[in-house]
Amino acid sequence: MIKVSILGSGNVATHLYHAFAESNEVQLVEIYGRNPKNLIPFEKEVATCSRLEDLKETDVFLLAVKDDAIEELITKLEHPDAIIAHTSGSIPLSKSAQKNGVFYPLQTFSKDTPVDFNSIPLCLEASDKEIYSVLEKLALSISPKVFSISSQQRKSLHLSAVFVCNFVNHLYHIGEDLCAKNEVPFEILHALITETARKASLNSPKAVQTGPALRNDQKTIATHLERLNEEKYKEIYKLLTQSIQATYGTKL
Amino acid sequence: MIKVSILGSGNVATHLYHAFAESNEVQLVEIYGRNPKNLIPFEKEVATCSRLEDLKETDVFLLAVKDDAIEELITKLEHPDAIIAHTSGSIPLSKSAQKNGVFYPLQTFSKDTPVDFNSIPLCLEASDKEIYSVLEKLALSISPKVFSISSQQRKSLHLSAVFVCNFVNHLYHIGEDLCAKNEVPFEILHALITETARKASLNSPKAVQTGPALRNDQKTIATHLERLNEEKYKEIYKLLTQSIQATYGTKL
C-alpha cells in the first residue's frame, strides 16, 4: 500500500481523491486545504487537515493547487522522507524538496462531470528512478495510460492542449453562437463534433482535413465571410483558412 | 416503399447508398455517375447508369454531386413527377424542377470510415408539404434525427460546421505538429480531445471554457507565445486568446 495525501481541494484534487478512493493499492491519508470550508465535502469520507504543521506522515504528497502556489508550498513542507509531486502541466520538476516528482493527469476537469481515470493519460517525472517507480505504481493503480514525460515535453503537451482543448472549445462556442443567432438548434452539430474528434484519434488530423479552405473553394469562402457579421469571427475565419491553405500548399 | 435513385458516386453518395441498402422502406433503383469507372464498386449490388437519358422512373432523385454541378444537373433531369433533392449544405432549395427538395446529412464523411446514420442529423427542406412528407419518411428510415431546416438556416449550419469541424480539425493538426516537433506522442492528447467534444454535447461550450486565456494567466500566455516558433501558430494563439477574453470580458 502506498500512503498518499492530497494537498488541494479543487477540481483536480477532487477527481484524484475519487480515483484513489477506489484503488486497492493506495491508502489515502488525508486531504489538506488552507480553507477548512473547502474540506467539508471530504470530511465524512476521509481525514482532512487545514494546517501544514499538522500534516501526518505519508509516502507521497500530491499537490493539486494553483501553479503560483506550488513552489512556496513545497518549501514549506518539512517531510524530507516523503515524495512531493505536483500535478501541473506547465511547472517544471521542482528542486526544492529532497524527493521531487510530477504527476500530471492530462485532462479537462469540471467539478460536476465525473471522469473515468482509466482513459486519462498520466504524465510522470521524478528526480530519480526510485521515486519514479513509486509514482508509476501509484499511477498504474488508477490508469493504464502512464507516460514518462520530461519537463520540456510536458510544456509542449500543455501548449498543445491549449490548441486541442481550450481553443477548440472556443470554436464550439462560436458555432453555438452562430446557431443561436440564426435560430438553429446547436444540437444538430453534436454528431459532427463527436465524429470530428473520433477521427482525430483514429488518423492523423493532417490526413483527414476537409472543407472549403482545403478545396480552395473561393465562392463558399466569400459567402461565409459575407454571412459573418462579427468582425472577430471574420478574422478567425480568415486566419484559420490561410493557415489551412499554407499547411496544404493550396493556392490563394 | 419509396423508390430512390442516387446521382453521384463520391463519399456522400456511397454512405447514403449503404444506409438505404439496409432500409426496408426504400427500394434503391440505381446509382448514376457520369464516369462509368466510378460505378464499378456498386455494380455487383445495384443497377448503375452513366447516361442521364437512360435513368429509370423513380420517386426521388438524390443528388450527391459537387455544389457547382447541382443546378445544371437538375435542369437536365426530365422527370417532372419525381422529387429532385440535393444533399448540399450551402446550396439553396432549387426552383428548377417541378418538385424540389433538400436532403442534407450534416456529417463529415471519409471514404474508408464507416458511419452510423442513426446518429446523423438529416436537414430537410421541400417546395411543398407533400414533398416534405416523402423526404421525411425517407429520412426517418435511416435516422431518427430529422430536422426541418430552411435554406437560410442551412447556410448558418454549414458555416458553423466549418468552425466546429474543419477549423477544429486544423487545431488538432497544430497540436499534433507541436507534439511531433517536441517528440511527444500525440496519442497522449486523444483523451482530452474526446472529453472536450463530449462536454460540448452535454453543456453549452460557453459555460465550460477553461485555460490560460479565460483565467487571464499572462505568465502562461507569455511562455506559450515564446515556445511557439512558427509565426502562423503565434498569430492563431494570439487571436483566439483575444477572442476568448473578449467573449468573457476578461481584461487584457
The complex scores an ipTM of 0.91
pLDDT at A116: 87
For chain A, positions 220-249, list CB contacts with chain B under 8 A. 220, 223-224, 227-228, 232, 235-237, 239-240, 242-244, 246-247
Compute mean pLDDT per 10 residues along chain B, 252 residues long, and list them: 96 94 94 96 95 97 95 95 96 96 92 84 97 98 96 95 98 97 95 95 93 92 95 98 94 54
φ/ψ of B161, rounded to 5, equals: -65, -35
Among A171, A197, A210, beta carbon nearest to B194: A197
Apex A221 CA angle, A220 and A225, nearest 5: 115
Q: What is the pTM of this model?
A: 0.91
- Residue A98, all three cell numbers: 529532497
> By the CB < 8 Å criterion, does B184 face chain A?
yes
Class of domain B154-248: mainly alpha
pLDDT at B251: 57
- Residue A236, all three cell numbers: 478567425
For chain B, positions 65-94, list CB contacts with chain A under 8 A. 67, 90
Contacts of B247 in chain A (CB under 8 A): 170, 173
Q: Is the pLDDT of residue A69 over 90?
A: yes
Q: Is the pLDDT of residue A194 over 90?
A: yes
The full length of chain A comes to 252
DSSP A101-169: EEEEE-S---TTS---GGG--EEEEESSHHHHHHHHHHHHTT-S-EEE--HHHHHHHHHHHIIIIIIHH
pLDDT band at A20 (very low <50, low <70, confident <90, very high): very high
Helix, strand, or coil here: A30?
strand
Dist. CA A48–CA A96, nearest whole Å: 25
CA B93 to chain centre: 17
Contacts of B227 in chain A (CB under 8 A): 155-156, 159
The 10s digit of each residue's pLDDT in A105-146 is 999 887 777 888 999 999 999 999 999 999 999 999 999 999
Closest CA to A131 of A91, A93, A92: A93
Contacts of B217 in chain A (CB under 8 A): 67
Domain ranges of chain A: 2-149, 154-248
The 10s digit of each residue's pLDDT in B3-29 is 999 999 999 999 999 999 999 999 999
The 10s digit of each residue's pLDDT in A153-162 is 999 999 999 9
The 10s digit of each residue's pLDDT in B82-122 is 999 999 998 999 999 999 999 999 998 877 778 889 999 99
Report the chain A residue with the minimal C-alpha distance to residue B164.
A172
Tell me if domain A2-149 and domain A154-248 are identical in fold. Answer: no
CATH code for the domain defined by B2-149: 3.40.50.720
pLDDT at B43: 94
pLDDT at A251: 57
Min distance B31 CA to chain A CA atoms (Å): 25
